[in-house]
Amino acid sequence: MEKTWVGSCHCGKVRYEVALDLKSAVSCNCSMCRRAGTLLAFVPTEKFVLRAGEDALADYQFNKHVIHHRFCRTCGIKPFAEGVGPDGKPMVAINVRCLEGVDLEKLDVVHYDGASA
């Protein structure tokens, strides 16, 4: 069942809302996700609303330079990333660890081999 979740960086300058049915999260082993410890959920851009902090966000790209890894300039936390999904449509990768009230133990974790992609 889809629910609206509130997410933020650590210091709270970056805040957003996202509508998603959160049953699982992706654990990627690429060099970025492995180091940051992110758990990801993906949504179309229309299900994501940045409520505050556009001016606090910085952008980091690596490898093929197709994903915009957004992070807070103050606290350094990466609450989300933006890119294009396999279907060619814009998407947002949500860092599930940045959502309020998520019980991570109840999520099915899907492992993705991003290191080989």
pTM of the predicted structure, to 2 decimals? 0.92
CATH topology (fold) of 3-112: 2.170.150
- Domain boundaries, given as residue ranges, for the chain: 3-112
What pLDDT shows up at residue 117?
80
What pLDDT shows up at residue 63?
81
What pLDDT shows up at residue 82?
96
Tens digits of residue pLDDT in 64-116: 788 899 999 999 999 999 999 889 999 999 999 999 999 999 999 999 998 99
> For residue 62, is pLDDT > 90?
no
Which run of H or E residues covers position 72? strand 68-72
Tens digits of residue pLDDT in 23-56: 999 999 989 899 999 999 999 999 999 999 999 9
9: Cβ contacts below 8 Å, ≥ 6 apart: 53, 56, 71, 72, 74, 75, 77, 79, 98
